[in-house]
Amino acid sequence: MIRICMVGTGYVGLVSGACMADFGHAVTCVDINKERIEGLRRGVIPFYEPGLDRLVLKNVDEERLQFTTSLAEGMQGADVVFIAVQTPMSESGEADLQYVMKVGEEIGGLLEDYAVVVTKSTVPVGTNRAVAEVIRKNLKSDVEFDMASNPEFLREGSSIEDFMRPDRVVIGTDTERSEELLRAIYRPLYLLDTPLVKTSIETAELIKYASNSFLAVKISFINEIARLAEAVGADVRDVAKSMGLDKRIGSKFLHAGLGFGGSCLPKDTNAIVHIASEAGTDMSIVRAAIDVNANLPGRAFAKAERLAGGLAGKTVGLIGLAFKPNTDDIRSAASLDLVTLLKKAGCTVRVHDPAAVENFKLFHDDITYCDSPYEVCEGADAALLVTEWNQYRQLDFERIGATMKAKVFVDCRNVYDRAHLEQFGFVYDCFGRADQMSEPA
Ligand code: UGA
């Protein structure tokens, strides 16, 4: 049994810790947030993630998973210490490493026996060497340790499945000893034939940024095609489907709509632009992807404005706020910008989301929060589908239409069809499907 200390109980840390415990290892998760740790001991998950509560409780019950606020306690006898604290985007767009460095400092002061210190947080190339340096400086005795990079590729909303069935595991190390320990942690995945990619530390660090940036580029690319499709009379869904059948392209991440939000793609695209500029080179494709993405809330606004014959002073309903379904996360969500644009136009804004309301209130507390998508549409001059939660995929438009002031619907996630909506007297628009755009009422 491998003893693991996981520092940080955010998405990455908590999911990785719980899943590693489920692999049969002894995991102690450490977080400085006392309230969070007390909650976790009772199985209270600090964010919305399907299935995580059950996994945590099961592994706590079976005594493989513990929680503490004391790093010293967490590191007691640990073979591997994972750093999974946040690396937020600083004002200038680069990754803010203060939390990672601070943890490195503390680990150095507490290390008593050989351990592998592994970064799981997404960190710019060179960070692991800097963390190793800070650990070394703070060591109290002549203890040996190894540094490794093991980036995480899980997605919010499907993180357990992503962790348990990854496309690959990346391990960046310099020594055989650390490589063996990390391989042993992931041994249960060998049954699934999961490729384990061993690289240098710098390469592992870059793989994570390159992967997230590529996904962002793919999304922005299809969103540009969507704009073009509208202009030339084509349908982006068919274009994406046919492109995706080419195995070299693949069908995933080709859904046009409001673009990429969340805590990772926006942060990591900005960070790689910085990393490149510091290295004296340029990521022009990623910069373009960021620009395309930034314009999408404005496009949604313009679509609603066109169909409604202006939005100034009108009532607008947003169905969904989270940056994607199955999460309560609203970081860099398109809904944030959309609400700002609507407020600027003097609109009354009504919103609903199954999970993200409390988080959204921290940014916009002066809008109307409703109990259902139907309530959102009451008296509205336009409604926009912002997040494609499953429960929004079968809306009753007869019911919606009966209470709206004007039957205007902008489907920002391409869930519905014009013919279906027009049947109930709506005018309809979506993203990138030329023959699905109704004429303004
Ligand atoms: C992303 C990556 O997908 C993970 O592999 C990575 O581990 C994670 O970041 C991270 O760095 O921690 P996540 O932010 O949870 O995961 O969300 P995604 O599922 O990637 O979606 C990102 C955004 O892109 C969402 O706003 C989604 O609506 C949008 N998207 C996605 C599209 O607009 N079109 C698509 O075709 C796919």
Burial per residue of 42-61, b for 16 or more beta-carbon CB atoms within 10 angstroms, e otherwise: eeebbebbeebeebbbebbe
Tell me the C-alpha to C-alpha distance, in Å, between residue 24 and each of 19, 185, 371: 9, 9, 42
Strand, helix or coil at 74?
A: helix
**341 within 8 A of 347, measured Cβ to Cβ:** no
Q: What does the DSSP assignment read for 355-424?
A: S-HHHHHTT--SSEE-SSHHHHHTT-SEEEE-S--GGGTT--HHHHHHH-SS-EEEETT--S-HHHHHTT
Which of 5, 19, 29, 264 is the catalytic position?
264
Q: Please give the number of the atom of ligand 1 that sits closest to the Cα of 323.
A: 26
Angstrom distance (rounded) from CA 258 to CA 425: 25
96/229 Cα distance (integer angstroms): 39
Q: Which conformational region is residue 411 in: left (phi greater than 0), alpha (psi within -120 to 50 degrees), or beta?
A: beta
Lining residues, ligand 1, CB within 6 Å: 122, 152-156, 212, 215, 219, 253-255, 257, 259-262, 264-265, 323-324
**pLDDT attached to residue 397:** 98
Q: Is the pLDDT of residue 185 over 90?
A: yes
Cβ atoms of 256 and 431 closer than 8 Å:
yes
Type of residue at 84: A
The rounded Å distance from CA 239 to ligand 1 centre is 21
- Give whole-number Cα distances, 441 to 200, 345, 350, 395, 402, in Å: 60, 20, 22, 21, 16
pLDDT at 181: 97
| pLDDT for the residue 338 | 98
Quote the ligand 1 centre to 105 CA distance (angstroms).
32
253 CA → ligand 1 middle, Å: 8
- pLDDT tens across 20-78, in order? 999 999 999 999 999 999 999 988 999 989 999 999 999 999 999 999 999 999 999 99
CATH says 296-436 is which class? Answer: alpha beta
CATH 3.40.50.720 location in the chain: 3-198, 296-436
Over residues 328-366, the pLDDT tens digits come to 999 999 999 999 999 999 999 999 999 999 999 999 999
Percent of the chain residues topping a pLDDT of 90: 94
In the block, tokens 């009422």 appear at 441
- pLDDT computed for residue 92 by the predictor: 85
Say if residue 243's pLDDT is above 90. yes
- In this predicted structure, the answer to whether residue 168 has a pLDDT above a threshold of 90 is yes
Closest Cα to atom 28 of ligand 1: 324
pLDDT given for residue 296 in this prediction: 98
Tokens of 395: 């809306």
* Residue 312 pLDDT grade (very low, low, confident, very high; cuts 50, 70, 90): very high
Which pLDDT value is given to residue 441?
A: 76
Model confidence pLDDT, tens digit, residues 105-159: 999 999 999 999 999 988 999 999 999 999 999 999 999 999 999 999 999 999 9
Q: How confident is the model over 290-296, as a mean pLDDT?
A: 98
Instruction: State the average pLDDT over residues 368-382.
Output: 98
Q: Considering only CA atoms, which residue is closest to atom 24 of ligand 1? A: 260
pLDDT digits (tens, 9 = 90+) for 195-239: 999 999 999 999 999 999 999 999 999 999 999 999 999 999 999
Residue % of the chain over a pLDDT of 70: 100
Model confidence at 440, in pLDDT bands (50, 70, 90)? confident
Quote the pLDDT of residue 93.
79
Collect all residues with Cβ–Cβ distance below 8 Å to 318 and sequence separation of at least 6.
335, 338, 339, 349, 350, 351, 352, 376, 383, 384, 386
What is the per-residue DSSP string for 77-129?
A: T-SEEEE----PBPTTSSB--HHHHHHHHHHHHH--S-EEEEE-S---TTHHH
- Ligand 1 atom at minimal distance to the Cα of residue 211: 5
β-sheet bridge partners, residue 7: 30, 83
Question: Which residues, including other chains, have CB under 8 Å from residue 42's CB and lie 6 or more apart?
Answer: none
Task: Look at the block and give the residue holding tokens 């990455």.
Answer: 12
Q: What is the pTM of this model?
A: 0.94
Give the per-residue pLDDT at 55.
96
Question: Which of 264, 268, 329 maximizes ligand 1 atoms within 8 Å of its Cβ, making it the mutation to test the pocket?
Answer: 264
**Predicted local confidence at residue 90, as pLDDT:** 86
Dihedral of alpha carbons 263, 265, 270, 273, sign: positive
- Identify the residue whose C-alpha is closest to ligand 1 atom 25: 260
Question: In the 8-state DSSP scheme, what is residue 435?
Answer: G
Q: 85, 209, 212: which to mutate for ligand 1, most atoms within 8 A of CB?
A: 212
Q: What is the average pLDDT value for the chain, to the nearest integer?
A: 96
Q: How far is the CA of 389 from the centre of ligand 1 (A)?
A: 15
Sheet with strand 427-429: strands edge to edge: 368-369, 348-352, 315-319, 382-385, 408-411, 427-429
Mean predicted confidence (pLDDT) in 306-310: 97
What pLDDT score was predicted for residue 94?
Answer: 83
- DSSP letters spanning 147-210: EEE------TTSHHHHHHS-S-EEEEES-HHHHHHHHHHTGGGGGGT--EEEE-HHHHHHHHHH
According to DSSP, residue 243 is labeled H
Given a cut of 80, whether residue 424 has pLDDT beyond it is: yes
Q: In which band, very low, low, confident or very high, does the pLDDT at 89 lie, cut at 50, 70 and 90?
A: confident
Q: What is the pLDDT of residue 95?
A: 83
Residue 192: per-residue pLDDT: 85
* Per CATH, domain 3-198 is 2.30.110.10: no
pLDDT band at 428, cuts 50/70/90?
very high
Top CATH class, 209-291: mainly alpha
Q: Which two tokens stand for residue 303?
A: 């679509």
Catalytic status, residue 264:
yes
Residues in contact with 141: Cβ distance below 8 Å, sequence separation at least 6, in sequence order: 112
State the span(s) of the chain assigned CATH 1.10.1040.10. 209-291
> In 3D, which of 297, 298, 305 has the Cα closest to residue 334?
297
